Amino acid sequence: MSRRQAREFALQALYQLDLNPADVQDLEAQEQQALDTAFMESEASVNKRTRAYAGMLVHGARAQLAAIDEAIGAHAKGWKVARMAAVDRNIARIAVFELVHAEPPVDAGTAINEAVELAKLYGTDDSAKFLNGVLDAIAKEQAKGQKNETSE
């Protein structure tokens, strides 16, 4: 299994949690239950590395949800995050987490490409183009911020 498959599992779990909001007191258990459901639906066995990466994506994206949604909303050209298609919203959340919050961050080209591929599989005809634009803008802003930090 691969990181791409981990991203697919994370997308399935985040989608489920997005449409069925978790009880604030038991977030971790609900995240794990959503992941377990995604893993069980897989026809192949899921190795520990794939499970761990998917879990890190789900937990990380949900832990940084406010900051991630703010970044998406700032670059979505008039679209409010809550009004986006749930699949697009959650693909973007995974990619922004990988770009901005993951340690170490995922290369921008890789994160954007993986998001676009997920959008082609699970989104609408316009999803890939829309997400590519939003994520590219976020990546450019992130790179600009890192460049400013190193020059100070």
User: Would you list the DSSP string of 49-70?
Assistant: HHHHHHHHHHHHHHHTHHHHHH
Q: Model confidence at 148, in pLDDT bands (50, 70, 90)? A: low
pLDDT in tens, 20-76: 876 667 888 899 999 999 999 887 889 999 999 999 999 999 999 999 999 999 999
Paired tokens of 85: 């298609």
- Please list the alpha-helical segments (H only) found in 22-126: 27-41, 48-63, 65-75, 86-96, 108-122
pTM of the predicted model as reported, rounded to 2 decimal places: 0.92
Paired tokens of 47: 């190795």
Q: Cα separation of 19 and 103, whole Å? A: 28
- Helix 86-96 vs helix 65-75: crossing angle, to nearest 10: 110
